[in-house]
């Protein structure tokens, strides 16, 4: 049951004065949380925070008020000049003056009786709004505030400015937020008092009050104490819910997977190279997790080509030594085939059978494979989401490996793990994710990182080039093709668009085809899977030598003899994505190049992005820079792909609070796993407040 103290905040926003369903829907557009599946609540308004302030204390007098500035004037009303009868397009003007000069207060579609009431001739009034000078004459169109001089205290000296959407007025939104604040109940303190004072954080209600009624511009900075307090609350709620999910998952007791090491040794001796130090460390961490009673939930991060598949294979081999089966799931058929090509021969060296399951097998061969999986004859199953299907039965699935996990939803992951009896789980990603984002999106996982490039990898030379040097670039490509090299050419769009002036993949394919003929191939996301696979195969096997595509070539495709990648309109891509695309080359023993083509002029952020790519190939450095340049919203791709999507916390400002929140959440649950203590009960309120109801249900489910 939700604590009754929260009822005022969980009431529909339509219970506030002046908020009907239409206005509630408009406010729903700016609430920084996902309220699409439920009505807007009173509590949602508390977390719509101001982004700037209007200073109503600026009182320069009419003559000294600059164009466009928001000013407050003390005026005496001189006369009214209504619009001529029947001329609705002519504004109603009220002339007023102070010691320095006269001003016209201008109103369109005005009600005469109303204006005569609020601006009586001869009275002194305070008027606040934006100044407009036209042909040397001052005016103010639709002032924001008009109050009698005797009620000067009714004018807010500093007024917070909130995000708005078409059809929603600032006044209505401010009034609604004010009502929501008035309904804020007296809530118990859920933060540890010592930590709160150490971090210099105000109490929850005080922080909200200061954010919505700031005393200075500093109060509404994301780095201010009030904002940090609310951000820390949100991060703690997030980390607590992840820790509860993890505790629940761990209760599904895993089983220790141990072996005599013989099969692992055979696979190692079949490897044509030695593992890097970070691969060795990752293997040690994973084997230690597997030997433990608790279920493994580990994230393996490594740049493109850092050797994640081999680490996964050694984990899968340990599963086979312990008498079980392992499955590896990849997001595309192409990737699944690539993993299979690596794993099957190495597994065979240890006498272990592998099978590939995609949506492509013919029914008879598919049935044979399914029978061999069900009997346990197959130790390693590699496939796409075809592994979820009900027809796939394992004899004893003990380890699930998921590649590029952010491409699968949580439900798919659960469906996959349901195939075994709470199997251990290893998740791999080539998207370099900064530590803060790993904590926020994958806080429920331990992390291993592969930090070196595999032996033999050549550095990639990265250059930037304006688009007007295209002909020069084409000539260089002609020379490269004559030497037997292969080229990727990436475009941001599939086809031409009227909205954006960008070269599409189809246009570029046609243009290069006129120069290089049959040597040019095309691949993009709107093609059928079989067409995409055929285009990639033609490129891999050398039937085409230039592959024009969109970002579908970003993940995992391995063409070792591709040595050049051209990224057109590079200024339009995020840093992490540019880095992933660049990783398509430099996979063989020849020197490789990445050409970032941009269309000048470009902004400062885009310039910085391109400069970072020229300076470093370290994916983790790039990811940290990307976080600074873009914020966490886009960093993991779309919102659905695992981005935390916080309401108040911004990792570029509050990343330092995240580790503290994680440690706090772990400590709380180690001492009070049911959240039954006084602080525990307060933390349950926090979970509800930030929409982590699911985590509270887990507590109840035990």
Pairing of strands 380-383, 325-329: parallel
Mean pLDDT value across residues 620-638:
57
Task: Pick the closest to residue 33 from 46, 18, 44 (CA basis).
Answer: 44
Residue ranges, comma separated, of all CATH 2.40.50.140 domains in the chain are: 57-155
pLDDT band at 84 (very low <50, low <70, confident <90, very high): confident
pLDDT at 649: 87
pLDDT band at 434 (very low <50, low <70, confident <90, very high): low
pLDDT at 573: 81
CATH of domain 460-616: 3.40.50.300
- For 76, the 3-state DSSP assignment is strand
**Does the pLDDT at position 231 exceed 50?**
yes
Tokens 């820790």 map to which residue?
243
Alpha-carbon distance values, 20 to 27, 64, 164, 176 (Å): 11, 42, 17, 11
Task: For 189-209, write each residue's pLDDT tens digit.
Answer: 999 998 899 989 999 999 999
**Does the pLDDT at position 338 exceed 70?**
yes
pLDDT at 252: 62
**Does the pLDDT at position 564 exceed 80?**
yes
Best CATH choice for the domain 57-155 from the list 3.40.50.10330, 2.40.50.140, 3.30.2320.80, 3.40.50.300: 2.40.50.140
Q: In the chain, what percentage of residues exceed pLDDT 70?
A: 87
pLDDT band at 289 (very low <50, low <70, confident <90, very high): very high
**Does the pLDDT at position 406 exceed 70?**
no
Task: Choose between 422 and 118: higher pLDDT.
Answer: 118
Phi and psi torsions of 329, nearest 5°: -110, 130
User: Can you name the residues that pair with 160 across neighbouring β-strands?
Assistant: 53
End-to-end alpha carbon distance in the chain: 15
Mean pLDDT value across residues 574-583:
82
Q: What integer best gives the mean pLDDT of the chain?
A: 84
Task: Choose between 434 and 322: higher pLDDT.
Answer: 322
Are 62 and 101 contacting, i.e. CB atoms less than 8 angstroms apart? yes
**What's the CA gap between 136 and 218, in Å, rounded?**
36
pLDDT band at 638 (very low <50, low <70, confident <90, very high): very low
Alpha-carbon distance values, 127 to 102, 155, 384, 508 (Å): 13, 9, 66, 58
pLDDT at 642: 31
Task: Pick the closest to residue 31 from 227, 129, 168, 158 (CA basis).
Answer: 168
Task: Report the range of poorest mean pLDDT among 95-104, 167-176, 567-576, 626-635.
Answer: 626-635
**Does the pLDDT at position 414 exceed 80?**
no
Q: How many residues does the chain have?
A: 702
Residue ranges, comma separated, of all CATH 3.40.50.300 domains in the chain are: 262-450, 460-616
**Does the pLDDT at position 668 exceed 50?**
yes
Task: Choose between 85 and 548: higher pLDDT.
Answer: 548
Task: Report the range of poorest mean pLDDT among 480-494, 541-555, 636-650.
Answer: 636-650
pLDDT at 435: 63
In this structure, CATH architecture of domain 262-450: 3-Layer(aba) Sandwich (3.40)
pLDDT at 273: 84
- For 175, the 3-state DSSP assignment is helix
Which region, left, alpha or beta, applies to residue 404 given φ > 0 means left and ψ of -120 to 50 means alpha?
left
**What's the CA gap between 391 and 485, in Å, rounded?**
44
pLDDT at 632: 45
Alpha-carbon distance values, 661 to 28, 249, 667 (Å): 28, 21, 10
Structure tokens at 140: 């103010």
pLDDT at 640: 29
pLDDT at 405: 55
Task: For 366-391, write each residue's pLDDT tens digit.
Answer: 899 999 999 999 999 999 877 777 78
**What's the CA gap between 361 and 363, in Å, rounded?**
6
Task: For 32-76, write each residue's pLDDT tens digit.
Answer: 655 556 788 999 999 999 988 888 888 999 999 999 899 999 999
Task: For 460-517, write each residue's pLDDT tens digit.
Answer: 899 999 988 999 999 999 999 988 899 999 988 755 544 455 568 888 899 999 999 8
Task: Choose between 498 and 300: higher pLDDT.
Answer: 300
**Does the pLDDT at position 436 exceed 80?**
no
Phi and psi torsions of 535, nearest 5°: -65, -40
pLDDT band at 262 (very low <50, low <70, confident <90, very high): very high
Are 546 and 572 contacting, i.e. CB atoms less than 8 angstroms apart? no
- For 575, the 3-state DSSP assignment is helix
**Does the pLDDT at position 311 exceed 70?**
yes
pLDDT band at 532 (very low <50, low <70, confident <90, very high): confident
Tokens 């230690």 map to which residue?
288
pLDDT at 645: 62
């Amino acid at each position: 049951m939700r604590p009754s103290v929260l009822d005022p905040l969980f009431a529909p926003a339509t219970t506030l004065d002046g908020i009907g369903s239409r206005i509630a829907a408009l406010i729903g557009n700016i609430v920084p949380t996902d309220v699409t599946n439920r009505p807007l609540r009173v509590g949602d308004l508390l977390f719509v925070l101001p982004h700037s302030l209007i200073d109503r204390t600026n009182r320069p007098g009419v003559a000294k008020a600059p164009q466009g500035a928001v000013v407050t004037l003390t005026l005496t009303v001189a006369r009214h000049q209504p619009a001529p009868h029947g001329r609705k397009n002519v504004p109603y003007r009220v002339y007023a003056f102070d010691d320095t000069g006269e001003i016209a207060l201008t109103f369109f579609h005005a009600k005469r009786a109303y204006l005569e009431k609020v601006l009586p001739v001869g009275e002194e009034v305070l008027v606040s709004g934006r100044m407009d000078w036209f042909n040397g004459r001052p005016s103010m169109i639709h002032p924001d505030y008009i109050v009698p001089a005797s009620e000067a205290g009714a004018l807010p000296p500093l007024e917070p400015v909130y995000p708005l959407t078409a059809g929603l007025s600032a006044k209505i939104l401010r009034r609604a937020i004010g009502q929501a604040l008035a309904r804020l109940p007296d809530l118990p303190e859920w933060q540890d008092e010592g930590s709160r004072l150490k971090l210099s954080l105000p109490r929850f209600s005080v922080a909200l009050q200061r954010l919505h009624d700031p005393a200075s511009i500093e109060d509404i900075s994301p780095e201010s104490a009030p904002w940090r307090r609310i951000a820390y609350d949100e991060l703690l709620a997030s980390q607590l819910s992840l820790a509860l999910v993890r505790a629940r998952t761990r209760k599904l007791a895993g089983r220790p997977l141990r072996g005599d090491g013989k099969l692992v040794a055979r696979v190692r001796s079949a490897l044509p190279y030695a593992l890097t130090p970070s691969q060795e460390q990752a293997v040690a961490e994973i084997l230690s997790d597997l030997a433990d009673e608790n279920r493994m939930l580990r994230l393996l991060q490594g740049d493109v080509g850092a050797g994640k598949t081999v680490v996964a294979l050694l984990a899968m081999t340990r599963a086979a030594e312990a008498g079980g089966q392992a499955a590896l799931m990849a997001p595309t058929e192409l990737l699944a085939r690539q993993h299979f090509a690596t794993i099957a021969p190495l597994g065979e060296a240890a006498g272990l059978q592998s099978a590939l399951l995609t949506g492509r097998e013919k029914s008879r061969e598919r049935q044979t494979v399914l029978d061999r999986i069900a009997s346990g004859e197959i130790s390693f199953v590699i496939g796409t989401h075809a592994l979820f299907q009900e027809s796939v039965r394992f004899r004893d699935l003990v380890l699930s490996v998921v590649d590029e996990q952010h491409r699968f939803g949580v439900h798919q992951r659960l469906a996959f793990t349901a195939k075994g009896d709470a199997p251990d789980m290893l998740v791999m990603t080539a998207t370099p994710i900064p530590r803060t984002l790993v904590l926020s999106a994958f806080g429920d996982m331990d992390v291993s990182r592969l930090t070196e490039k595999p032996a033999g990898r050549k550095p990639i030379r990265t250059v930037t080039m304006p688009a007007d040097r295209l002909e020069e670039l084409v000539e260089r490509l002609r020379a490269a093709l004559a030497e037997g090299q292969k080229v990727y050419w990436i475009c941001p769009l599939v086809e031409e668009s009227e909205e954006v002036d960008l070269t599409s993949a189809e246009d570029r394919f046609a243009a290069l085809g006129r120069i290089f003929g049959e040597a040019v191939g095309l691949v993009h996301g709107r093609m059928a899977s079989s067409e995409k696979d055929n285009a990639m195969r033609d490129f891999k096997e050398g039937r085409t030598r230039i592959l024009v595509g969109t970002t579908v070539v970003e993940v995992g495709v391995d063409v070792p003899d591709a040595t050049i990648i051209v990224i057109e309109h590079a200024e339009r891509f995020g840093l992490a994505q540019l880095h992933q695309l660049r990783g398509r080359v430099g996979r063989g023993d020849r020197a490789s190049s990445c050409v970032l083509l941009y269309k000048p002029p470009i902004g400062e952020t885009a310039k910085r992005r391109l400069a970072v790519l020229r300076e470093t190939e370290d994916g983790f450095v790039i990811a940290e820079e990307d976080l600074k340049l873009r914020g966490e919203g886009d960093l993991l791709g779309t919102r659905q792909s695992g981005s935390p999507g916080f309401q108040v916390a911004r990792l570029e400002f509050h990343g330092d609070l995240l580790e503290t929140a994680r440690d706090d959440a772990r400590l709380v649950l180690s001492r009070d796993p049911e959240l039954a203590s006084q602080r525990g009960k307060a933390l349950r309120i926090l979970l509800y407040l930030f929409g982590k109801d699911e985590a509270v249900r887990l507590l109840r489910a035990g």
